[in-house]
Structure 1
Amino acid sequence: MIKVVKGNPTPEELAAALAVVQARAAALASAPSGAPREPDEWSRPARVARRRVPRPGPRAWGRTYWPS
């Protein structure tokens, strides 16, 4: 059972969301159960950190203090 907890979707929006959920469930049901699944692209850590984070400069510690 699917329940809308926030917002007021139109019947067309609700039908579109249910179609996506049903298509995903059908795709998972038709997949062979013995084969190992690859993790989804969304769960890959490399997707989040595509570039290297710049390292702080030599006096970066002095800029971290914010006087109140």
Structure 2
Amino acid sequence: MATESDTPEQPLLRIVTPDTTPEEVAAIVAVLAAVASSGEAPAPRRTPEWNRPARLTRETHRHGPGAWRSSGLPR
């Protein structure tokens, strides 16, 4: 039974052109690393509570017993 340590690892990148400069290899590695790291979607931005668009709309006043007291409380 073969384990992962017994099998030789395959190279992730193989340069087939013999006249490739180290700068060109570095550029290729940088591009591939950037593409690989951008696979995840960025986290959605959370709108702060004080800047929420719903705060611009008016709400109806509550009515009934104790309504004046609850009118100052956040919803």
Length-normalised TM-score, structure 1 = 0.40
Length-normalised TM-score, structure 2 = 0.36
**Higher RCO, 1 or 2 (CA under 8 Å, sep at least 6)?**
2
Give 1 or 2 for the bigger CA radius of gyration.
2
Greater helix fraction, Structure 1 or Structure 2:
1
